[in-house]
């Protein structure tokens, strides 16, 4: 597949998203090309995912694929996707009984949102004799519908310290879902606080390896980039509405 044979609507959506990222990065004095565009692939087909990956490669962008649902992991072994060298992430809410599948699939797990998930991932990584990177999920908006640790250094330091001591899991940053509101001030506050918490943990724990900030989706990616996101998770703005 080349750009000339790609779906024109797909190309238009991609270029719009990249333009949004680059403009926000410029406002913050950053380089948009250094931000990883994670393709949120829930309900998308291997053909759709492969086409988007090729377009992003042609544009020289950092790419990862992110699956929300453990039951959809199998589609990534399709010949169109298997062995393509694109980093694979798990970005959804995780149940402990799916930890084995997620460890087998993902190089980076975004959603360590409670202690029993850390337990399950560590156990499964040890059994598989692999090392995996993880992000600690933080509920920066305080919304009850969202998972994650409380947005305080007191709540986060113990889980980060524990993960740093693991032989099979390596914490590399934090993740959040921005406030679900049209109030831009509230959204920005919920995303800015993740960066402040990350920086606080790095100073308090002496942990410079905490570099990643996974935040920002289709609706709030500009704010996330302005506030320091290193990974933005985009689905519908790239692929169009889900069936």
DSSP H or E segment with residue 153:
helix 153-164
In sequence order, what E strands does 45-167 have? Answer: 63-67, 88-90, 108-112, 132-137
Compute the distance between CA of residue 65 and CA of residue 19 in angstroms, rounded to an integer. Answer: 20
Q: pLDDT > 70: what percent of the chain?
A: 98
**pLDDT score for 1:** 46
**pLDDT score of 174 more than 90:** yes
Compute the distance between CA of residue 112 and CA of residue 20 in angstroms, rounded to an integer. Answer: 29
* pLDDT greater at residue 240 or residue 131: 131
Length of the chain counted residue by residue: 243
* pTM, two decimal places: 0.94
DSSP 226: H
Position 6 confidence tier, pLDDT thresholds 50, 70, 90: confident
Tokens of 227: 């506030």
Position 144 confidence tier, pLDDT thresholds 50, 70, 90: confident
């Amino acid at each position: 597949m080349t750009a000339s044979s790609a779906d024109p609507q797909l190309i238009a959506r991609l270029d719009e998203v990249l333009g949004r990222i680059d403009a926000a990065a410029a406002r913050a004095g950053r380089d948009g090309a250094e931000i990883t565009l994670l393709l949120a692939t829930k309900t998308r087909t291997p053909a759709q995912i492969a086409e988007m990956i090729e377009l992003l490669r042609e544009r020289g962008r950092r790419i990862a694929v992110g699956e929300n649902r453990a039951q959809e992991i199998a589609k990534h072994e399709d010949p169109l996707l298997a062995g393509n060298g694109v980093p694979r992430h798990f970005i959804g809410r995780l149940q402990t009984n799916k930890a084995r599948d997620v460890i087998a699939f993902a190089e980076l797990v975004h959603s360590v949102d409670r202690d029993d998930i850390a337990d399950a991932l560590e156990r499964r990584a040890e059994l598989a004799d692999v090392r995996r990177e993880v992000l600690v999920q933080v509920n920066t908006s305080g919304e009850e519908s969202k998972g994650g640790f409380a947005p305080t250094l007191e709540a986060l330091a113990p889980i980060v310290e524990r993960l740093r001591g693991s032989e099979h899991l390596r914490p590399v940053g934090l993740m959040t879902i921005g406030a679900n509101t049209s109030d831009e001030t509230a959204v920005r506050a919920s995303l800015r606080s993740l960066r402040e918490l990350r920086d606080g943990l790095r100073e308090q724990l002496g942990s410079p390896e905490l570099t990643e900030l996974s935040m920002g989706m289709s609706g709030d990616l500009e704010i996330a980039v302005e506030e320091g996101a290193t990974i933005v998770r985009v689905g519908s703005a790239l692929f169009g509405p889900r069936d």
